[in-house]
């Protein structure tokens, strides 16, 4: 790896585009960047930086590649089944209205999936689902809630598909009732402040390219953002480092509970005590 060239590229990119690569693993970014450089014929990092600064089309292409917008409805069905059958019902027993954050939501499949599940579990309650991403362009698509393809909806149960998706040719659109239940907003996990007061944070397959230091900052931020007893739902390959030290209790792979003090636990409803116990294996 050309360390000096990469350092120069990071500085220039931050200066003219506001994109900070310092929290991303350099080895993985180097492989991804060199693939792009080969495609555009850039011989080195300095030449690629100059190209991105003068060519808005290539800069947009870089942003699209860099933000890695990959998602689908009910991605990893067994995990979403556990969310539907265990996590959400017991959170709903604890609170009439729950506050959820889908971080790194890409084009909206994940928060819309959660909205569909909640409509099945508690159709007459109002919940908040905040969905954020760093990419404003992809958020525009998410707000529209349409142009989803067969690959995006392949895991959607048939009953959900009939009730919550409308088909137009080879594309699908989320029905208005579900679209209205998700609030989309731009947010940079590495630079922007985090809200607090969430009962559930879903952040899956987002931090895999982050450095260990950056991951630690993100998970500390999630911990502070969760209510006592709140749940973090991460990707199957994203093990939270130092989970117990941060204050999380780990359960089934991908699920972490923010631990409560004895006083907080004594005030909880029986339903939530069951949730904490089921997640308390780690």
Tokens 């959900």 locate to 160
What residues contact 69, with CB distance under 8 A and at least 6 apart? Answer: 106, 107, 133, 135, 138
Q: Retrieve residue 40's tokens.
A: 């555009």
Q: Retrieve residue 138's tokens.
A: 């992809």
Output the tens digit of pLDDT for each of the chain's 282 residues.
Answer: 577 888 889 889 888 887 778 877 788 788 888 888 999 999 999 999 999 999 988 888 887 777 666 679 999 999 999 999 999 999 999 999 999 999 999 999 999 999 999 999 999 999 999 999 988 888 999 999 999 999 999 999 999 999 999 998 889 999 999 999 999 999 999 999 999 999 999 999 888 878 889 999 999 999 999 999 999 999 877 888 889 999 999 888 899 999 875 555 555 544 444 444 444 433
In the three-class reduction of DSSP (H, G, I as helix; E, B as strand; rest coil), residue 231 is classed as strand
User: How far is residue 260 from each of residues 65, 153, 200, 247, 273, measured CA to CA in Å?
Assistant: 40, 37, 15, 9, 11
Alpha-carbon distance of 241 to 193, in angstroms, equals 21
**CB-based contact 108:142 (threshold 8 Å):** yes
Question: DSSP letters along 156-213, please?
Answer: S-HHHHHHHEEEETTEEEE-HHHHTTEEEEE--TTTSPPP--EEEEEE-SSSTTB-HH
What residues contact 257, with CB distance under 8 A and at least 6 apart? Answer: 229, 230, 231, 232, 248, 249, 250, 251, 275, 276, 279, 280
Q: What ranges do the domains of the chain cover?
A: 3-67, 77-278
Residues 209-247 have pLDDT tens digits of: 788 899 999 999 999 999 999 999 998 778 888 899 999
CATH architecture for segment(s) 77-278: 3-Layer(aba) Sandwich (3.40)
Residues 142-177 have pLDDT tens digits of: 999 999 999 999 999 999 999 999 998 889 999 999
């Amino acid at each position: 790896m050309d360390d000096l060239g990469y350092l120069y590229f990071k500085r220039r990119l931050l200066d003219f585009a506001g994109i900070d690569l310092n929290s991303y693993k350099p080895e993985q970014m180097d492989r991804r960047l060199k693939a792009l450089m080969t495609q555009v014929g850039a011989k080195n990092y300095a030449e690629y930086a100059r190209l991105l600064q003068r060519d808005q089309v290539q800069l947009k292409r870089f942003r699209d590649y860099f933000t890695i917008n990959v998602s689908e409805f009910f991605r990893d069905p067994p995990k979403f089944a556990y969310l539907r059958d265990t996590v959400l019902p017991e959170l709903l027993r604890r609170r009439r209205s729950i506050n959820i954050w889908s971080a790194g939501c890409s084009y909206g499949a994940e928060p819309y999936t959660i909205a569909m599940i909640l409509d099945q579990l508690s159709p007459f309650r109002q919940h908040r689902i905040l969905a954020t991403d760093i990419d404003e362009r992809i958020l525009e698509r998410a707000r529209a809630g349409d142009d989803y393809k067969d690959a995006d909806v392949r895991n959607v149960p048939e009953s959900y598909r009939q009730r919550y998706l409308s088909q137009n040719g080879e594309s699908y659109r989320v029905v208005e009732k579900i679209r209205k239940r998700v609030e989309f907003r731009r947010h940079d996990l590495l630079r922007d402040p985090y809200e607090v007061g969430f009962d559930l944070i879903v952040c899956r397959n987002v931090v895999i390219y982050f450095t260990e230091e950056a991951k630690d900052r993100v998970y500390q931020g999630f911990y502070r953002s969760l209510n006592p007893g709140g749940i973090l739902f991460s990707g199957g390959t994203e093990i939270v480092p130092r989970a117990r030290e941060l204050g999380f209790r780990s359960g089934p792979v991908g699920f972490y509970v923010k631990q409560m003090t004895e006083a907080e636990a004594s005030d909880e409803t029986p339903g939530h005590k069951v949730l904490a116990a089921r997640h308390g294996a780690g």
